[in-house]
Amino acid sequence: MLAGKRILLIVGGGIAAFKIPELIRALRGRGAAVTPVMTRAAEEFVTPLTLSSLAGEEAHRHLFDLSKEAEIGHIQLSRAADLVVVAPATADLMAKMAAGLCDDLASTLLLATDKRVLVAPAMNVRMWDHAATARNRATLAADGILFAGPNSGDMACGEYGPGRMAEPAEILTAIEAALAGGPLAGRHVVVTSGPTHEPIDPVRYIANRSSGAQGTAIAAALRDLGARVSFVTGPASVPPPAGVEVIRVETAREMLAAVQGALPADAAVMAAAVADWRVANAAGSKMKKDGSGRAPALDFAENPDILATVSRGADRPGLVVGFAAETDDVVAHATAKRLRKGCDWIVANDVSPATGIMGGAENAVTIIDAAGAEDWPRLPKDEVARRLAARIAAALG
């Protein structure tokens, strides 16, 4: 897939830059040509000689290189690539991209390119969670920038959380997906996945058994067909796929806000197992037993209906797909749910304990739309995802 492709690889100044030699080796091993570009800060973590030796091409560093600017070298670099990859994409580089600043070679190339751009963010967890970075992420996603990661994990600074750069193998997968094209190229799809956690107090919460495996597989399948995927996930037990924009949430209300922030989109696939209720009187500190033998009284409030809100909202995607996890009268309940929520399709499945589907590796679904119900055999969740993605691609034309 990468044979003959040219990657313009912009290396930002972060400790994750030490992984870039491995990425260059992997790209060249797949037949791609790699042109490295380094920010000044990147040179503090990896040397130009290392990258140029591995790439077999000069590692470009300076905007005003007279031997190249005679031929407007930065324009040529930005246009000659099949894909521009920014890794690590630091908070500073992402801010420059969002604002359209261009005060060095890397940022000038990013503003001058007419090719797709894939970023692999890497920064401290506090920087990733900062409101300014969140705004920049939203701006870049709206501009069509593709994301690989970041992952959650240990940081070089000793902290733990989201902001760790995706591994080279994950970035390679995202690059292949970005160059694959496919029937959903140019389309934007929002996918929700995983459970939500509704707090009782700071250490306890109400949740469900969803692993997030089916939603994750759907996001990956849509990505593989060329879609730009905004993946809104609760605290799932499976990692998110590479090559999608990952938006992590905890509660149903956070998920609704994230989905609305990701719109507009061509399609929305609401695969998350969202809690119907939350604790209205959640405690601000850990609840203690008082020795009376009586449990504390919990008052419940209904959570927002994300599927109905998206289906009936002003920014309604052209295709809205809901999910119905039922334990009895599956088709009847799911059919009623489709009409009640206002979505186009419902993917219904039987999650009664005997099926082993909730949290398992397989799924057996029925697709319900205006024409009726279509039963699918029991299949691995990856295959269910591929079939559903193909059906979505056909529906979007």
pLDDT at 279: 92
* 89 CA to centre of own chain: 15
Number of domain units in the chain? 2
- Residues 220 and 349 reside in one and the same domain: yes
CA distances from 386 to 6, 87, 220, 393 (A): 28, 29, 9, 10
> What's the pLDDT at 193?
96
Together in a domain, 236 and 264: yes
Written as six digits, the tokens of 314 are 């002003």
**Same-domain pairing of 111 and 246:** no
Structural domain of 137: 1-180
Of 145, 180, 215, the residue that ends a domain is 180
Catalytic residue among 132, 157, 203, 301: 157
Rounded CA separation 262/312 (Å): 16
In the listed set 180, 203, 221, which residue is the last one of a domain according to the structure?
180
Q: 358, 351 in Cβ contact below 8 A?
A: yes
Does 357 share its domain with 330?
yes
For residue 379, give the CATH number of its domain. 3.40.50.10300
Tell me: do 17 and 157 sit in the same domain.
yes
CATH number at residue 63: 3.40.50.1950
pLDDT of residue 61: 87
Q: Based on the fold, state whether residues 186 and 175 are members of the same structural domain.
A: no
State yes or no: is 102 an active-site residue.
no
Same domain, 396 and 255: yes
Backbone φ, ψ for residue 250 (5° rounding): -115, -50
The pLDDT score that the predictor gives to residue 74 is 63
φ and ψ of 341, to 5 deg: -85, -25
Q: Quick check: 25 and 52 in contact, CB under 8 A?
A: no
End of a domain among 161, 180, 199? 180
- Digit-by-digit pLDDT tens for the chain (397 residues) are 688 889 999 999 999 999 999 999 999 998 899 999 999 999 999 999 999 999 998 899 887 765 555 555 667 787 788 899 999 999 999 999 999 998 889 999 999 888 889 999 999 888 998 999 988 988 888 777 888 888 877 777 777 778 889 899 989 988 887 887 778 988 999 999 999 999 999 999 998 888 899 999 999 899 888 888 999 999 998 888 877 889 999 999 999 999 999 999 999 999 999 999 999 988 888 888 888 888 888 999 999 999 999 999 999 999 999 999 888 888 999 999 999 999 999 999 887 777 776 667 788 899 999 999 999 988 888 889 989 999 999 999 8
